[in-house]
Chain A
Amino acid sequence: MSSDLTPRSDGSPEATGAHGVVSGSGVNDRLARPDYAGPGALPLAAVDHTPRRSDLYPKAARRVERQITLMFLLSMLMAVLFIVGYVAIDVGTEIYIPVLGGVGFQNLVLGVTFGLGVFLIGAGAIQWAKKLMPDVEVVQDRHPLPSTPTEDAKAAEQYQRGKEESGFAAYRIMRRTLIGALALFPIPLVVLVRDMWTNDDPALAGQSPAEILSSTAWTGGLRIVTDGTFQPLRPADIPVGGLVSALPENIEEIQKEAHNLNERGKSAIILVRMDPEDIRAQQGEGWDYQGILAYSKICTHVGCPIALYEHRTHHLLCPCHQSTFDLADAGNVIFGPAARSMPQLPIGVDEEGFLVAASDFNQPVGPSFWERG
Chain B
Amino acid sequence: MSITEKVGAGTADFADQRLGSNKWLGKNLKKVFPDHWSFMLGEIALYSFMVVLITGVFLTLFYKPSLVEVVYEGSYVPLKGVMMTEAYASTLDISFEVRGGLLIRQMHHWSALIFVAAISVHLFRVFFTGAFRKPRELNWVIGVGLLVLALGAGFSGYSLPDDLLSGTGLQIARGIAQSIPIIGTWAAFLLFDGEFPGVDFMSRLYMVHILLIPGLIIGLVTVHLMMVWYQKHTQFPGQGRTNSNVVGYPLLPVYMAKAGGFFFIVFGIITMLSGLVNINPVWIFGPYTPDQVTAGTQPDWYIGWLDGALRVMPNWETVAFGFTLSWNILIPAVIVPGLIFTAMALYPFLESWVSGDKREHHLLDRPRNAPVRTGIGVMSIVFYGLLWIGGGNDLMATTFNLSINAITWFLRITLFLLPPLAFIITKRICLALQRKDRDKLLHGYESGRILRLPHGEFIEVHQPLNNKEKAILMAKLDSEQEPLALPAKTDANGVKNKGYRVESLRARLSHFYFADTIAPPTREEIEAGQAHVAHEAELEAPLHEYEEEAYVQVPFHGGVLHREGAPMTNAEALEDSRRTD
Contacts and interface: CB of A to CB of B under 8 A. Distances in A.
B548 to A, nearest CB: 20
Closest 7 CB pairs of A and B: A111-B275, A119-B268, A122-B264, A302-B175, A265-B290, A115-B272, A40-B242
Contact of A36 (B99, B245, B474, B484): B474
Report the interface size class on chain A: 35 or more
Interface stretch (A44-52, A158-166, A278-286, A344-352): A44-52
A140 interface: yes
A180 interface: no
B324 A368 contact: yes
5 contacts: A42-B467, A114-B271, A119-B267, A138-B30, A320-B297
B57 interface: no
Interface in A98-147: 100, 103-104, 106-112, 114-126, 128-130, 133-135, 137-142, 145
Nearest to A193: B190
Interface centre among A91, A245, A264 (most CB of B within 10 A): A91
B257 A126 contact: yes
B477 interface: yes
A39 interface: yes
A106 to B, nearest CB: 7
Interface stretch (B176-184, B422-430, B563-571): B176-184
Given A30-B522, A106-B99, A129-B258, A115 B269 contact: yes
Interface string B77-111: 00000000000000000001111101100100000
A174 B469 CA distance: 66
Interface stretch (A236-244, A287-295, A305-313, A354-362): A305-313
B291 A35 contact: no
Given A138-B247, A373-B322, A125 B257 contact: yes
A297 interface: yes
A301 B329 contact: yes
A86 B329 contact: no
Interface in B242-300: 242-250, 253-254, 257-258, 260-276, 278, 289-297
A80 B442 CA distance: 61
Contact of B247 (A12, A139, A340): A139
B324 A264 contact: no
A173 interface: no
Interface stretch (A18-26, A148-156, A181-189, A218-226): A18-26
Interface in A164-208: 193-194, 196-197, 199, 201, 208
B16 interface: no
B289 A48 contact: no
A39 B236 CA distance: 11
Given A262-B196, A370-B181, A122 B245 contact: no
B111 to A, nearest CB: 12
Given A5-B486, A303-B196, A305-B290, 7 more contacts: A40-B243, A91-B99, A111-B103, A111-B276, A122-B265, A125-B258, A145-B360
Interface in B324-379: 324-326, 328-329, 332, 356-360, 362-363
Residue with the greatest number of chain A CB neighbours at <10 A, chosen from B100, B262, B266, B322: B100
Interface of A: 1, 3, 5-8, 10-13, 16, 20-25, 27-28, 30-32, 35-36, 38-44, 46-48, 56, 58, 86, 91-92, 100, 103-104, 106-112, 114-126, 128-130, 133-135, 137-142, 145, 193-194, 196-197, 199, 201, 208-210, 212-213, 227, 245, 247, 259-262, 264-266, 268, 297-298, 301-308, 319-323, 333, 335-340, 366-373
Nearest to A263: B195
A319 to B, nearest CB: 5
Nearest to B190: A196
A35 B369 CA distance: 21
A123 B269 CA distance: 11
B482 interface: yes
Contacts of B526: 35-36
A86 B307 CA distance: 40
Contacts of A260: 67, 195, 197-199
A21 B243 contact: yes
Contacts of B241: 39-40
Q: Interface centre among B276, B289, B307, by most A CB within 10 Å?
A: B276
Interface residues of B, number: 152
A310 to B, nearest CB: 13
Nearest to B237: A39
B166 interface: no
A369 B319 CA distance: 10
A257 to B, nearest CB: 13
B454 to A, nearest CB: 34
A117 B268 contact: yes
A320 B264 contact: no
Main secondary structure of the interface of A (DSSP, over half): loop
A244 to B, nearest CB: 13
A20 B360 contact: yes
A255 to B, nearest CB: 8
A303 to B, nearest CB: 4
Interface string B476-510: 01111111111110000000000000000001100
A51 B97 CA distance: 55
A39 B472 contact: yes
Contacts of B522: 30-32
Contacts of A1: 511, 515
Given A139-B245, A142-B244, A336-B315, A302 B293 contact: no
A303 B519 CA distance: 57
B324 A369 contact: yes
Contact of B293 (A22, A137, A142, A320): A320
Contacts of B507: 5
Contacts of B266: 122
Contact of A110 (B179, B185, B275, B470): B275
Q: Which of B68, B103, B182 has the most CB of A within 10 A?
A: B103
A30 B520 CA distance: 9
B478 A56 contact: no
B16 to A, nearest CB: 23
A302 B310 contact: yes
B240 A370 contact: no
A302 B276 contact: no
B523 A35 contact: yes
Contact of B246 (A31, A100, A142, A333): A142
A42 to B, nearest CB: 5
B272 A116 contact: yes
Contacts of A24: 477-478
B100 to A, nearest CB: 5
Interface in B4-46: 30-32, 35
B263 A122 contact: yes
B95 to A, nearest CB: 9
A338 B190 CA distance: 25
Contacts of A112: 272, 275-276
